[in-house]
Amino acid sequence: MLTLYGIYRSRATRNIWLLAELGASYRFQPVIQGYRLPDPAAKDAPLNTTSPAFLAISPAGAVPVLDDDGFVLSESLAINLYLARKFGGTLAPTTAQEDARMQQWALYGVSSIEGPALDISYAYARGEDKTEAGRAVIAAAAEKLQRPFKVLEAHLLREGQIVGGRFTVADINMAEMVRYAQAHAPLMDAFPAVKGWLAACQARPAFKAMWASRLAEPA
């Protein structure tokens, strides 16, 4: 039995998207970020990342977490790579080299793209693009993304997808990191192959289903 702990407004989206692509059945256990609650320790507080019951599962106190019949795994990208290998099929690596490439791109994304992209996402979500200070934060983050986006643009122009010339878990992992920068149109417009690839990823029914549920969840 698979259980995914998390919430739609978290990095669990990448796991929910993949699970839908795989057609996997699983239990979804909502766990909200403690910092989003007025009193995460209150008796009537929902299960959250600071709840002792959750910390017993995940000492890092962060979602998502996967429990596969007692095998507990954290880190959203590792969870996706594990799930893809477990279920197999075209989303999974078919050779050791594809496996290595999927890990390479996941690590490149998390070390070079996710941080500045999240800065952009938070700034737009808070309406800070309407302030001078916020625009400076966005500009600095967009500047940091120039180099990795150039790498991604050239790669996608050459190969069309992240690994193996087909849609795989590597596209989901990367698309969910690039998505955080999507609100910044000038950045996306400067990298048309990245923009087009992301749009194609997000046109998939499994993404759309995940996104509809995310929008339905209170902000």
Which residues here bind ligand GSH, judged by CB under 6 A? Answer: 10-11, 33-35, 49, 61-64, 75-77
The conformation of residue 219, written as its DSSP 8-state character, comes to -
The span from the CA of 148 to the CA of 154, in Å, is 10
Give the residue among 10, 65, 21 at the shortest CA–CA distance from 202.
21
Q: How far is the CB of 172 from ligand GSH (least distance, A)?
A: 13
Q: How far is the CB of 75 from ligand GSH (least distance, A)?
A: 5
The nearer residue to ligand GSH, 81 or 201, going by C-beta atoms, is 81
Q: Which is nearer to ligand GSH, 61 or 134 (CB)?
A: 61
Q: Percentage helix, strand, coil, to 5, in the chain? A: 60, 10, 30
To ligand GSH, the closest distance from the beta carbon of 61 in angstroms equals 6
Comparison of 8 and 167: residue with beta carbon closer to ligand GSH: 8
Nearer to ligand GSH, 109 or 191 (CB): 109
Exposure of 92 by Cβ count < 10 A (0-12 exposed, 13-18 middle, 19+ buried)? buried
- Least Å distance, CB 10 to ligand GSH, is 4
Read off the DSSP letter of residue 1. Answer: -
* Cβ(85)–Cβ(77) below 8 Å: no
